[in-house]
Amino acid sequence: MVQRISHRIAAFIDALPLAPGQRVLEIGCGPGVAARAVSRRVGNGFVLAIDRSAKAIESAVAGSKAEIATGRLRFLQAAIEDFALPPGEEPFDIAFAMRVGALDGRHPEIECRALERLRIALKPAGRLFIDAGHPLKEVRLGTR
């Protein structure tokens, strides 16, 4: 079953600076619609999609069997403010989040922890994008 992608999600993904071979981290993946689309865009790259909700991860995995089978898409239950690279996992080129409370300014203490976790999870030149712009905004992570 192919899940339709909303105009909002499609516009966000189209605006991301994606390229084949990139490693991408999606924060707050929900049912996995964006993760699947990004996985197709990065070709032989890799997408790790996380969500704090076990139900969301269950739904994402159920709808992504073909993509998961390629080894280029994986889902993990984790909150971004507690996220750590899994053992053996390389840092990411890009991270993105759409409608994630931990990164939208509503919870400064959680956001501070989340950004610190992202500094570690991303490559030194890694970039973070959120849906606070039209259609996205880059969040500068500062020096490490």
For the chain, percent of residues with pLDDT exceeding 70 = 97
pLDDT > 60? residue 14: yes
Per-residue CA distances from 60 to 13, 16, 26, 49 (Å): 17, 21, 12, 9
Which residue in the block uniquely carries the two structure tokens 């390229």? Answer: 19
| Structural domain boundaries in the chain | 7-139
What is the C-alpha to C-alpha distance for residues 81 and 15, in angstroms, rounded to an integer? 25
CATH class of the region 7-139: alpha beta
Tell me the pairing of strands 23-27 and 92-97: parallel
The per-residue pLDDT for range 120-144, each reduced to its tens digit, is: 999 999 999 999 888 899 998 875 4
Per-residue pLDDT, 121: 97
